[in-house]
Amino acid sequence: MSGGPDKDWWRGAVIYQIYPRSFQDSDGDGVGDLRGITDRLGHVASLGADAIWISPFFPSPMLDFGYDVSEYRDVDPLFGTLADFDALLAEAHRLGLKVMIDLVLSHTSDAHPWFIESRADRENPRADWYVWADAKPDGTPPTNWLSIFGGSSWEWSTERQQYYLHNFLTAQPDLNFHNPAVQDEMLDIARFWLDRGVDGFRLDTINFYFHDAELRNNPPLPPEQRSATVAPAVNPYNWQDHLYDKNRPENPAFLRRLRAVLDEYPAAAIVGEVGDGQYGLELQAAYTSGTDKAQMCYDFTFLATAPPTGTRFAEVLDAVAAVNPDGWSCWAYSNHDVIRHATRWGLGDAGCRTYAALLLSLRGSVCLYQGEELGLPEVEIAFEDIQDPYGLRFWPKFKGRDGCRTPMPWVADNRAGGFSSGKPWLPMPPEHLERAVARQEDAPESLLHFYRRMLAFRARHPALAKGDLTITDRGDQRLAFIRSHGNERAFCAFNLGAAEQTIALPSGNWTPADAPFDGTQTASDTVTLPPWQAFFATIQSGD
């Protein structure tokens, strides 16, 4: 008899991110929608993913494409209806897929009724629902805090004669989580979607919920410590040590309240986005340690511009083991905010295969971004086609995020790639049509089929999904480790470059595993890997 739902389904899960505007358009308006997602869920299931994460589909002015929420308990008409969402949820569950939705709690749209009321005066019931502060005596903003989208993170309100905080667009005012009523409302919103049947949440900007109540200035960050993984290098946001506008010590207490709500349900889970270039791993530890906060977080470690070497992977894994030995990471190479990693790291299909195999072998869960399984490169978007306000703000040094958000190519014999019967909201590039799903379906050695085989391999070996990790060899172009779980040990070795690598084989009676790689030569105590190859072997207890 079954013991009920698996409350640990998220541990080692492969989560497929769907950007709804660009996955599948069902009504010909050029923008993807919920019915389109439902129609294409078979693709995700056939890939072998365990869950989907759907980026925001709530009502919104769409100034930041859904991350500026104007109503939390509904669906924007652009994407469909609540009935469409219920149908999507039912079909996903029928296919064995969990459904996580992107919950944007740190800020709303300035078109949200809460903000309109809060802005009206200083005495209304929601006057303290957002972060308001008086100007300095000279009229300048209360602090030196900067917006990720450029400029000060404070905007003047003529109605209240005060500044309000916005860590992103001026049209995205930050909620005041120091107000218990705001926290209570956020918890009720979570219950609304959990009652509807979702399996959990991806929490946007999980480390931005609280600001420093004393409104202290951020100190400068030395140039050698600046990281461009959160904001582009051309943005002086990276010049500050963000001690006071985010990453505040009050955050874990709210996460405990939210986790208590999730624990009221059979098997709901959280993956939090930690947007920080300096303290990502430490925050991940603070937010996932124990059993009373987020189950897992991902930071921006492997979303960086430079391709991670084997040495870099080892450093990160060592750091995670040191600061968060009992926590759980969620790793990603690409998402809707960064240049696709095939382009960012200059990878061909061979490199994409090896890096994917490594991602799917790390201790932690995995997020795959739509089109990653096709090896889609970043798209060069002409200035006149840019939609992203981020790109418009920093053009031409930074061209925004549209290049990773173009529509999913399903077929090659259609200018819109089977995405829409109308004109897509972003161009469908010809080079993506060459990598369309239908074309790769017909090519057994394609990257798409590799991802399927690799996910199936991971599913057959619990050590790869849930096991402990011990590094056995490292170098700039190589990495090897052992994953251990139950009665299985799995040895994983990777050549991350164009030169042959010889890696020490740990002692033991290893049996080469049925992984989707070939060409490896083994001796009694070494493994020789050709360029861009991986090797897997296993030992069962008693072997």
Active-site annotation, residues = 204, 264
Number of Cβ atoms within 10 Å of the Cβ of 42? 11
**Residue 130 dihedral angles phi and psi, to the nearest 5°:** -120, 170
Q: Give the separation between CA 118 and CA 128, rounded to whole angstroms.
A: 7
Whose structure tokens read 């001690």? 243
Q: Give the separation between CA 238 and CA 276, rounded to whole angstroms.
A: 10
CB-count burial class (<10 Å; 0-12, 13-18, 19+) for 290: exposed
Instruction: Name the residue among 2, 488, 51 with its Cα closest to residue 295.
Output: 51
Specify which residues 495 forms β-bridges with. Answer: 478
Cβ contacts of 93 within 8 Å, gap of 6 or more? 99, 197
Q: 142 near 152, Cβ under 8 Å?
A: no
Q: Give the separation between CA 474 and CA 312, rounded to whole angstroms.
A: 9
Instruction: Name the residue among 498, 474, 502, 472 with its Cα closest to residue 311.
Output: 474
Classify residue 83 by its DSSP letter: H
Q: What is the largest CA-CA distance in the chain?
A: 77
Q: 317 near 479, Cβ under 8 Å?
A: no
> Starting at the edge strand that comes first in sequence, how are the strands of the sheet with 132-133 ordered?
132-133, 162-165, 154-157
